[in-house]
Amino acid sequence: MFQLAKSLDDALATVADGCLLVVPREVSGVPMAATRALIRRGVKRLHLVALPTSSLQADLLIGAGCIETLETSAVSLGEFGPAPRFIAAVIAGAIKMKDATCPALHAALQAAEKGVPFMPLRGLIGSDLLKYRDDWKVIDSPFGNSDPIVLLPAIKPDVALIHAPMADRFGNVWIGRQRELATMAHAAAKTIATVEKIHDGNLLDDPVLAAGTLPGFYIESIAVTERGAWPLPLPDFYPADAGHLAEYAALAATAEGFTDYLERYVYERRAA
């Protein structure tokens, strides 16, 4: 049953230790305010699926000790360089890395979306990824001889966590053209959305907005969180804070600098 949460922490209450959590890529609206709230709460042992890539969000969660398993196709700060806490954790063996590809992650989420146990995908044949993913099975197609195909087990998240421009009081969330957010919500047991604002009226009644709206029956809770993607962008609404991202890249290059970053930009906002 959908609820409009009284606070961000209330909205995130169902993200428990050990949760299989799916989050979107940078251009889809990353819930960064929610990420900082989870770090403040001290959530642990997350299995994080970044669909299909991540940047600051995964690096922060890894550095803060929240991640046990990471499943994604890439983690990078883009023009600001490598993701330093991700690299340090992989080298130290501090997280379990489940390397994937963008199509593989989309296919595995689509399997859960469709309610089937696996999804076939051909493009992985010949990749060395198959040596490291014993949960991916290669079989001969039942419809042709000597026609191998890879079967990917469905990824069924406990929680999908997204940030979107707006929602209404009926629990409908406008995601616009970011359709992978719909895939995440369809696949997950619960979806938590942070939004910039509450829309007056019913989004599904608006002939312009309805096509880009995720219906409320997929939504567990919503928290109004202005600039909730900061310092990452919310495409079409506000850009990335390049100065802040450059500062993060410089500080997070060392463990001591990362701790300083957390104190400045995560923990000191506890009362916010």
Q: Per residue in 48-99, pLDDT tens?
A: 999 999 999 999 999 999 999 999 999 999 999 999 999 999 999 999 999 9
Q: Per residue in 195-204, pLDDT tens?
A: 999 999 999 9
Q: Per residue in 19-58, pLDDT tens?
A: 999 999 999 999 999 999 999 999 999 999 999 999 999 9
Calpha distance 20→192 (Å, rounded): 13
Calpha distance 257→254 (Å, rounded): 5
Calpha distance 100→107 (Å, rounded): 11
pLDDT band at 269; cut points 50, 70, 90: low
CB contact burial 124-156 (16+ within 10 A = b; e otherwise): beeeeeeeebeebeeeeeeeeeeeebbbbebbb
Q: Per residue in 140-188, pLDDT tens?
A: 998 877 889 999 999 999 999 999 999 999 999 999 999 999 999 999 9
pLDDT at 271: 37
Q: Which of 252, 254, 246, 153 is nearest to 266 (CA)?
A: 252
Q: Is the dihedral of CA 214, 216, 218, 222 positive or negative?
A: positive
The residues that bridge with 222 in the sheet, in sequence order, are: 4, 193
Q: Which of 26, 96, 88, 98 is nearest to 57 (CA)?
A: 26
**Domain locations along the chain:** 3-114+157-267, 118-153
Q: Where are the beta strands (DSSP E) in 184-234?
A: 190-198, 213-214, 221-224
Calpha distance 99→167 (Å, rounded): 34
Structure tokens at 170: 């009926």
What single-letter DSSP state applies at residue 188? Answer: S
Q: Give the pairing type, strands 67-72 and 118-121.
A: unpaired
- Cβ pair 122, 77 in contact under 8 A: no
pTM of the model: 0.95
pLDDT band at 270; cut points 50, 70, 90: very low
pLDDT at 193: 98
CATH architecture of the domain formed by 3-114+157-267? 3-Layer(aba) Sandwich (3.40)
Peptide bond into 165 cis (omega under 30): no
Residue 42 φ then ψ, to 5°: 85, 30
Among all chains, which residue has been given the structure tokens 């202005």?
A: 226
Q: Which of 70, 163, 152, 170 is nearest to 114 (CA)?
A: 152
